[in-house]
Amino acid sequence: MKAATSDEYKILGTRPIRHDGADKVTGKAKYGADVQFANLAHGKILRSPHAHARIKSIDTSAAEKVPGVFAVITANDFPDPQDKIADLGEGPVTLSHLGSNVMARGKVLYKGHAVAAVAATSTHVAEQALNLIQVDYEILEPVLWVLDAMAEDAPLLHENVFTDSMGEASEKPSNIEKHLHFEKGDIEQGFAEADIVIEREFKTASVHQGYIEPHVATADWNEDGQLRIWTSTQGSFTVRHQTAELVGIPLSRVTVYPCEIGGGFGGKIAVYLQPVAALLSRKSGRPVKLVMQRDEVFEGTGPTPGSFVRVKLGAKNDGTLTAGKAWIAFDAGAFPGGPIGPGCMCVFSCYDLPHATVDGYNVCNNKPKTQAYRAPGSTHVAYATENVLDEIAGELDLDPLDLRLKNAVKEGSRRVDGPVYPEIGCVEVLEAVKNSEHWNAPLEGPYRGRGLALGFWFNCGLKSSATANVNTDGTVTLIEGSTDIGGSRTSLAMQLAETLGLTAEEIHPQVADTDSVGYTDVTGGSRVTFATGLAVCKAGEDIQKQMRQQAAVLWDCDANEIEISGSTFSRNGNSISFQELAAKQLQLGEPIVGRATVAPDCSTNGFGAHIADVEVDPETGKTTVLRYTAIQDAGKAIHPSYVEGQMQGGAVQGIGWALNEEYFFGDAGDMKNASFLDYRMPTCLDVPMIETIIVEVPNPDHPFGVRGVGETPIVPPPAAITIAIHNATGVYMRELPASPPRLWKALQEA
């Protein structure tokens, strides 16, 4: 496939009103919390007050006797998955870990870990019953900081987790569940060639995805054994698979109805409530709804890892990087799994290092099981690498932009974890920085500084399906399975419209349930506009093929004699529009239904650079972001407003990560700030309007050149902000968040 140039497009690059817009602004859109049934029971979950404890016994008898209580369940109500491993679309998962996270079995591993659940006439009755459940805990010492958890004598979370070190298992059980090692070139030689070598250590706190909509699920286990689930999820098919495995029924017995979703950012892929609601429903004989409160979301669902990252870079006096070495340790949280792989992949992904080694460790500790969060693992490592690079620029008295341009990866560069880049836009992004008004605008005044940082996310392909029904009024109903988080319905409809020569409004996109559309992987990895987009384009081509055949019937000719231009089918001076042909389809032959499934096995490689201007109040340590610009290669921006929205949203989340967001734990491993009051995400008053510059270097693997854009924008902000703080104050903040107390203290000590 060859990407076309933008001026060939009629629909792509325009900004039509989103198809789901009216429903959302008028409050009619159905979210998970809006699901209602006449005999609905309401569930609540009892959660552990301890960060680490053995469950000696659970007595639910008093709770079961409360009037209005329909069912009480514990881990004993779930089948024991034993050692079974299932591939849930994002790699193999040990089902006992997944199940024990949903409902603790034997041990609780973090404060907020679910231990029992109740279904009752109301949440108030359910709460009353929860208070009567007696859990006898043997409290164990918790371990929270990742390096502490790696120590030989650290409290051990799992007797059955052994370190997987490049395929070799350790002899003794360990909190270190995985060790990865990558190398390229000769690291000794690389540092020997350097004129300057700088090595620094960085720490980041656990931060949450912070979606506004809490987790919610309603399950209805029918008398015939069919299970229906309405939920807020990034992937209805993975919810189907995970739930079926955990409750022990074939997946064809489960139908998942994805509701509108109020944010996910990676945190709404793993199941929490769905299997619990299912078993409560089976036991109570009623549909059961579970809705988390905000503290349950913070304490019981995935943050991204806290981390320790050590980065060493060597450079020649002219700024040419000669070598890089990274040592990365990430929280896994309560159970194995996490983004250490991507962390290793991304630490040097923006720079062409001839010699490099990367070691990564994934470490279990007494925090909630970490989950994906927007470019999982990349923000942590970019924060480290970009700060060291900035320090090298300072030491060598080089322009930080020129230093990055000099070392930027391009087509043919090989990343430390193996892949060789195809056509990418890293250099073009940096050139856009160089030409931007912001980069060239003066920044004056005391305690003000500007920071520049680069970021990368690989973006995945995975699998998608789409069906498109041509209606006799000339419109097309598009049925796809990617739950719509960021305006993907419209971006997909636009791609179909462009393919068929129609308008975006002539396409009616629907996100369908798991019985109504072909298998589709999660909305994640910045893949939907690319991969489901690919399926949509192919479904459009399938429609054109069928319509060409009908035109051939009409004109009594061979189908390959028909030419298609936009929405016009023509042959020898005869022509007929898409709409006219659609109207005749039932007379001419079979109904026209386009379908396509895709499994693109490629990355779409998104690069972005951010410019941050800050001002620091030296008396309080408070940082104000004065101006902020995000620049990114989108390949081809299908709907520029949504691309800009992704860039702005990611930047704001990254600014929060940089300045204030953190899980604040007490000595007992208990989170102290499980509310939006004290878990300080930025409000609209805390950030300036985020400016955006879209760069378009077409992706060769997509007919329109689309690259994923959703994740890259969260990667540069902590680096850009802390570099700006350094330029404002002379202090490098090597621990996140760079919160006012921490920055004030650093200024005192400087």
* Per CB under 8 A, 54 contacts other proteins: no
* Per CB under 8 A, 745 contacts other proteins: yes
**Minimum gap (Å) between residue 615 Cβ and other proteins:** 13
**Minimum gap (Å) between residue 719 Cβ and other proteins:** 20
Compare residues 67 and 167 and give the one whose CB is closer to other proteins. 67
CB 326 within 8 A of CB 201: no
Count of CB atoms within 10 A of residue 588's CB?
A: 16
CB 613 within 8 A of CB 450: yes
Compare residues 166 and 212 and give the one whose CB is closer to other proteins. 212
H/E stretch holding 294 reads: helix 294-300
Interface pick for other proteins out of 10, 414, 434, 622 (rule CB under 8 A) = 622
Alpha helices in 334-436 (DSSP H): 340-346, 378-396, 400-407, 426-435
**Minimum gap (Å) between residue 146 Cβ and other proteins:** 20
- Restricting to residues 62-121, which ones interact with other proteins according to CB under 8 A? none
CB 548 within 8 A of CB 569: yes
Q: Name residues whose C-beta falls within 8 Å of residue 233's C-beta, 6 or more positions apart in sequence.
A: 239, 256, 258, 261, 264, 268, 269, 483
Question: How far is 488 from 507, CA to CA, in rounded Å?
Answer: 13
User: Tokens 């990676």 map to which residue?
Assistant: 266
Q: Name residues whose C-beta falls within 8 Å of residue 146's C-beta, 6 or more positions apart in sequence.
A: 305, 306, 307, 308, 329, 330, 331, 363, 365
Q: Name residues whose C-beta falls within 8 Å of residue 732's C-beta, 6 or more positions apart in sequence.
A: 200, 387, 391, 722, 726
- Reference 625, options 574, 562, 682, 575; nearest CA is 682
Compare residues 296 and 513 and give the one whose CB is closer to other proteins. 296
Interface pick for other proteins out of 87, 397, 619, 667 (rule CB under 8 A) = 619
Residue 275 CA to chain centroid, in angstroms? 22
Q: How many CA atoms lie within 13 A of 650 on its CB side?
A: 35
**Minimum gap (Å) between residue 126 Cβ and other proteins:** 11
Torsions phi, psi of 129, nearest 5? Answer: -65, -40
DSSP 710-743: SSGGGSSHHHHHHHHHHHHHS----BS---HHHH
Compare residues 540 and 682 and give the one whose CB is closer to other proteins. 682
- Reference 355, options 180, 182, 184, 181; nearest CA is 184
DSSP 39-61: T-EEEEEEE-SSSSEEEEEEE-H
Binding-residue pattern over the window 711 to 740 for other proteins, x denoting contact by CB under 8 A:
----------------------------xx
**Minimum gap (Å) between residue 617 Cβ and other proteins:** 9
**Minimum gap (Å) between residue 145 Cβ and other proteins:** 17
**Minimum gap (Å) between residue 131 Cβ and other proteins:** 9
Q: Taking contact as CB under 8 A, which single stretch among the options 122-130, 270-278, 317-325, 556-564 is the one that binds other proteins?
A: 122-130
Compare residues 519 and 744 and give the one whose CB is closer to other proteins. 744
- Restricting to residues 640-699, which ones interact with other proteins according to CB under 8 A? 659-660, 664, 672-673, 677-678, 680, 682-683, 685-686
**Minimum gap (Å) between residue 735 Cβ and other proteins:** 14
Q: How many CA atoms lie within 13 A of 519 on its CB side?
A: 12
**Minimum gap (Å) between residue 292 Cβ and other proteins:** 14
Calculated CA dihedral for residues 608, 613, 615, 620, nearest 10 degrees = 0
**Minimum gap (Å) between residue 744 Cβ and other proteins:** 6
**Minimum gap (Å) between residue 447 Cβ and other proteins:** 15
**Minimum gap (Å) between residue 680 Cβ and other proteins:** 6
**Minimum gap (Å) between residue 308 Cβ and other proteins:** 21
Compare residues 435 and 683 and give the one whose CB is closer to other proteins. 683
Compare residues 522 and 671 and give the one whose CB is closer to other proteins. 671
CB 108 within 8 A of CB 334: no
Given 3-state DSSP classes, what are the helix, strand and coil percentages for the chain, each rounded to the nearest 5?
A: 30, 30, 40
**Minimum gap (Å) between residue 41 Cβ and other proteins:** 18
Compare residues 399 and 686 and give the one whose CB is closer to other proteins. 686
**Minimum gap (Å) between residue 627 Cβ and other proteins:** 16
* Per CB under 8 A, 447 contacts other proteins: no
Question: How far is 484 from 489, CA to CA, in rounded Å?
Answer: 6
- Reference 330, options 63, 595, 75, 149; nearest CA is 149
Specify the pairing of strand 563-565 against strand 574-577.
unpaired
* Per CB under 8 A, 128 contacts other proteins: yes
Compare residues 572 and 620 and give the one whose CB is closer to other proteins. 620
Binding-site residue total for other proteins (CB under 8 A)? 23
Compare residues 367 and 463 and give the one whose CB is closer to other proteins. 367
Helices (H) and strands (E) counted in the chain, each on its own, are 20, 32
The residue type found at 26 is T
Specify the pairing of strand 321-333 against strand 307-315.
antiparallel
**Minimum gap (Å) between residue 655 Cβ and other proteins:** 11
Question: How far is 639 from 482, CA to CA, in rounded Å?
Answer: 17
Compare residues 555 and 664 and give the one whose CB is closer to other proteins. 664
Task: Let me know if 436 is exposed, middle or buried by CB neighbors in 10 A (0-12, 13-18, 19+).
Answer: middle
- Reference 370, options 333, 406, 402; nearest CA is 333
Compare residues 509 and 621 and give the one whose CB is closer to other proteins. 621
**Minimum gap (Å) between residue 132 Cβ and other proteins:** 13
* Per CB under 8 A, 127 contacts other proteins: yes
Torsions phi, psi of 167, nearest 5? Answer: 95, -15
Question: How far is 229 from 288, CA to CA, in rounded Å?
Answer: 10
| Order of strands across the sheet that contains 448-457 | 448-457, 606-617, 622-633, 691-695
**Minimum gap (Å) between residue 672 Cβ and other proteins:** 5
Interface pick for other proteins out of 5, 25, 620, 730 (rule CB under 8 A) = 620
Q: Taking contact as CB under 8 A, which single stretch among the options 61-69, 85-93, 124-132, 637-645 is the one that binds other proteins?
A: 124-132
Compare residues 208 and 548 and give the one whose CB is closer to other proteins. 208
Binding stretches for other proteins (CB under 8 A) = 124, 127-128, 619-620, 622, 659-660, 664, 672-673, 677-678, 680, 682-683, 685-686, 739-741, 744-745
